[in-house]
Amino acid sequence: MRGPGDSYLSKLWFSYRLRWKRRRLLWRIWRKRHQITAVFDRTAQIADDAILCFATVRNEMLRLPYFLEHYRKLGVTQFLIVDNDSDDGTTAFLAAQPDVSLWTTAHSYKLARFGMDWLGWLQWQFGSGHWCLTVDADELLIYPDSDTRGLPALTDWLDARDITSFGALMLDMYPKGRLADVDYQPDQDPIETLSWFDADNYRHRQHPIFDNLWIQGGVRERVFFAGDPQKSPTLSKTPLVRWHWRHVYVSSTHQMLPRYLNHVFDKKTDRKVTGVLLHTKFLPNIGVKSAEEIDRAQHFENSAVYVDYHRALTENPVLWSPQSYLYKNAQQLIDLGLMSKGDWG
């Protein structure tokens, strides 16, 4: 699909096609609903003002204890999680959590649009009218003053201004040494181990179809995609949304429909408040997980570039460089222009 032309008729036709795309995605979500099976359904506990967290996980016992702690502290009161055939104790651990509703599936993660079809059904059923946070187990959301002001304060502020979506840059965090040669315990803050990041090698442009700010760059492009930077991962996301059953994610949490939900960044005036998803992908088990993903081929579209990327991760690389920054706090990321406080007073 191409972007809208300049004429009134071409814009009308473009809007019509996007509406049909959204309807097709909702129909797809409805058809995939039988692929997930409830293990513990605690959704009756969801309060009217609850902030909900949605995630698809597989073999994430290394991350989950701190993941839940982090979002509970921010103000999430209910987690709705799909476990994709874990065999490391993830299922039993999540089933024992009093604020987790858990579904399981052995179906293809890739053929479910990388889990978005499964989560879309849960958002359709339980998310409408709530602020919904959709994240991966290796993503920790922070935003200006998030250490003192929880998500209820942020969502109240957004509601008061009729803002229904909130954007964040995914910031890859990594250690100073080789990836597998550092220590990490499951209940530990992963940023104590992954303390470094790239700060000044990002670029952005407006997506021609979905109108989101398309951000690329960072350490993964520097180390793994330098020869083909256009294929480096997309780093802009819209993880927090005041949900309506007609909303749908198109590609992970990078793009949404209706299109206005993607208007979460303002690089010209920085008037919009934005956050950062601290990306903890590069914990010491990354080599093992990457080898598994090469075999499973569930995380990429049969691209040789991404196979090479995962293969490189099995070789225990060093991501740190003399230009790397040591993470301090959220204010540091504001000062570096990686997130914005905007009018958030």
Identify whether 245 is part of a domain.
Answer: yes
133 SS3 class:
strand
Identify whether 122 is part of a domain.
Answer: yes
Residue with the larger pLDDT of the pair 306 and 12: 12
pLDDT (tens digit per residue) in 2-49? 667 667 788 788 898 999 999 999 999 999 999 999 999 999 999 999
pLDDT (tens digit per residue) in 51-82? 999 999 999 999 999 999 999 999 999 999 99
Q: Are β-strands 51-57 and 78-84 bridged in parallel, bridged antiparallel, or unpaired?
A: parallel
pLDDT at position 294 is 73
Identify whether 229 is part of a domain.
Answer: yes
Residue with the larger pLDDT of the pair 9 and 337: 337
Average pLDDT over residues 292-302: 65
Identify whether 345 is part of a domain.
Answer: no
pLDDT at position 3 is 67
The count of domains in the chain is 1
From CA 192, how far away is CA 18, in angstroms rounded? 43
pLDDT at position 6 is 67
The CATH number assigned to the domain holding 204 equals 3.90.550
Identify whether 236 is part of a domain.
Answer: yes
The Cβ of residue 98 has, within 10 Å, a number of other Cβ atoms equal to 7
pLDDT at position 23 is 97
- Residue 281 carries which DSSP code? T
From CA 136, how far away is CA 168, in angstroms rounded? 13
pLDDT (tens digit per residue) in 115-133? 999 999 999 999 999 999 9
From CA 25, how far away is CA 23, in angstroms rounded? 5
Q: Are β-strands 131-134 and 51-57 bridged in parallel, bridged antiparallel, or unpaired?
A: parallel
Identify whether 341 is part of a domain.
Answer: no
From CA 51, how far away is CA 242, in angstroms rounded? 9
Contact call for residues 277 and 139 (beta carbons, < 8 A): yes
Identify whether 343 is part of a domain.
Answer: no
Check pLDDT > 60 for residue 291.
yes
Identify whether 3 is part of a domain.
Answer: no
**What tokens were used for 137?**
């187990």
pTM recorded for the entire structure: 0.95
Range of the domain at 250: 8-335
